[in-house]
C-alpha cells in the first residue's frame, strides 16, 4: 500500500490503514518486530523507510485477501503458537471445543488418534495437556505431516510425543496395531456447492481440507463406519462438522450403533461437534 510511508507513527496507522485493528496489530508485530507491549508504549514511534516498506507489503497482501496466518506463518490455538502454511488448514477457535471434549473423556494413560491432523493442532494441543496419554495422528498429505511434525517438535519440546502415520483415513492405521479410547477428527465437511468456499480466507486454504468435493458428509460417513473397529469398548468418536450438519451426523452415529449420541455447541451457540460411544 503506497499510503504507508516512512515517518508515520504507529498510532496514526490505526486510523488510516483499512484493516481490522487486531489484524493490523498482528501484522505490525510481524513486519516491524515490535512486541504487543512495545506497540503500546511506543505508539508515537515513526516508521523507518524499511519498516514502512515491510508493513506496506504485508498489508497489501492482506487487503488482497491472503489470510493473516499465512502471511505471518503462525496461528495461536489452545494457547500454543502453531506454524502454518498454505498446505494446511488454519486452526480455528471453534475447534478448541473438540480438544476440550476429548480431554474430558481421555482416561489416564489413554490412547487417542486425530484423523486428518493437518497442522497437528488437535493432536498436539491434547498432547501438551496430557503427557500421560499416547497420542497418534494421521493425514493423507505428506506436506501436512511435515508441518505437523515440525509443530510437535517445536511445541512439545520432547516432553511428549505424537506418533504420525500417512494415509487416507483408516488406511493410515493399517500398520498401527492399536485400539483407541478416543478417535477425534475435524474432517472436510463443507458442501462443494457452498459459495463460502469462494469467499474470505477459505479461497487460500487447501480445498481438500475444506470440502469432500461432494455433499460434505462423505468423510464423516467414513469415520463413523470405520471407527468401531479401532475403538475400545466404551471408546468415543468425536467429530467436528458444519453448522447445519448436527442432526445428520447424529443419525449416522445412531445407525452405526453408537451410544450416548449427542452434539455440543461452540461459543457462538452453533452445534459444532457430535459424537458417540462404542457399545
Tens digit of pLDDT for each residue in 14-52? Answer: 999 999 999 999 999 999 999 999 999 999 999 999 999
Instruction: Tell whether the model's pLDDT for residue 82 goes beyond 70.
Output: yes
pLDDT score at 135? 98
Does the annotation place 243 within a ligand binding site?
A: no
Does the annotation place 139 within a ligand binding site?
A: yes
Residues 44 and 8: beta-carbon distance below 8 Å: no
Q: How far is CA 33 from the centre of its chain?
A: 25
Does the annotation place 169 within a ligand binding site?
A: yes
Average pLDDT over residues 88-94: 95
Does the annotation place 117 within a ligand binding site?
A: yes
Does the annotation place 274 within a ligand binding site?
A: no
Report the DSSP pairing between strands 271-277 and 259-265: antiparallel
Q: Exposed, middle or buried, 18 (CB in 10 Å: 0-12/13-18/19+)?
A: exposed
Cα torsion 217, 220, 222, 225: sign: negative
pLDDT score at 1? 47
pLDDT confidence band for 210 (50 / 70 / 90): confident
pLDDT confidence band for 2 (50 / 70 / 90): low
Percent of the chain scoring above 70 in pLDDT: 99
Domain boundaries, the chain: 10-62, 72-277
Residue carrying C-alpha cell 489416564: 108
Whole-model pTM? 0.91
* pLDDT, the chain, mean: 94
Q: Give the chain's radius of gyration (CA, Å).
A: 21
Rounded to whole angstroms, the Cα distance separating 270 from 263 reads: 10
Does the annotation place 216 within a ligand binding site?
A: no
Q: Which residue has the higher pLDDT, 141 or 194?
A: 141
Instruction: Tell whether the model's pLDDT for residue 10 goes beyond 70.
Output: yes
Does the annotation place 21 within a ligand binding site?
A: no
Percent of the chain scoring above 90 in pLDDT: 86
Residues 183 and 169: beta-carbon distance below 8 Å: no
pLDDT confidence band for 196 (50 / 70 / 90): confident
Does the annotation place 9 within a ligand binding site?
A: no
Fold of the domain built from segment(s) 72-277: Rossmann fold (3.40.50)
93-110 pLDDT, tens digit each:
999 999 999 999 999 999
pLDDT score at 213? 84
pLDDT confidence band for 175 (50 / 70 / 90): confident
Amino acid at each position: 500500500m503506497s499510503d504507508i510511508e516512512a515517518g508515520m507513527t504507529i498510532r496514526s496507522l490505526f486510523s488510516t490503514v483499512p484493516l481490522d485493528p487486531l489484524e493490523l496489530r498482528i501484522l505490525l508485530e510481524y513486519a516491524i518486530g515490535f512486541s504487543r507491549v512495545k506497540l503500546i508504549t511506543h505508539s508515537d514511534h515513526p516508521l523507518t523507510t524499511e519498516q514502512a516498506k515491510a508493513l506496506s507489503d504485508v498489508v497489501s497482501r492482506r487487503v488482497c485477501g491472503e489470510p493473516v496466518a499465512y502471511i505471518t506463518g503462525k496461528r495461536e490455538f489452545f494457547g500454543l503458537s502453531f506454524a502454518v502454511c498454505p498446505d494446511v488448514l488454519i486452526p480455528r477457535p471453534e475447534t478448541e471445543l473438540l480438544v476440550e471434549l476429548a480431554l474430558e473423556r481421555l482416561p489416564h494413560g489413554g490412547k487417542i488418534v486425530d484423523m486428518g491432523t493437518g497442522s497437528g493442532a488437535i493432536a498436539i494441543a491434547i498432547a501438551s495437556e496430557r503427557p500421560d496419554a499416547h497420542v497418534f495422528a494421521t493425514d493423507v498429505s505428506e506436506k501436512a505431516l511435515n508441518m505437523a511434525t515440525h509443530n510437535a517438535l517445536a511445541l512439545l519440546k520432547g516432553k511428549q510425543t505424537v506418533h504420525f502415520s500417512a494415509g487416507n483415513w483408516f488406511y493410515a492405521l493399517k500398520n498401527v496395531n492399536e485400539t483407541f479410547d478416543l478417535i477425534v477428527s475435524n474432517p472436510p465437511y463443507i458442501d462443494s456447492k457452498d459459495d463460502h468456499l469462494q469467499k474470505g480466507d477459505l479461497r487460500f486454504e487447501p480445498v481438500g481440507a475444506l470440502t469432500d468435493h461432494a455433499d460434505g458428509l462423505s468423510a464423516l460417513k467414513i469415520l463413523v463406519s470405520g471407527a468401531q473397529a479401532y475403538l475400545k469398548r466404551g471408546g468415543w468418536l468425536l467429530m467436528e462438522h458444519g453448522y447445519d450438519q448436527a442432526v445428520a451426523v447424529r443419525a449416522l452415529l445412531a445407525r452405526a450403533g453408537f451410544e450416548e449420541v449427542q452434539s455440543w455447541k461452540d461459543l457462538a451457540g452453533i452445534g459444532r461437534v457430535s459424537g458417540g460411544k462404542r457399545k
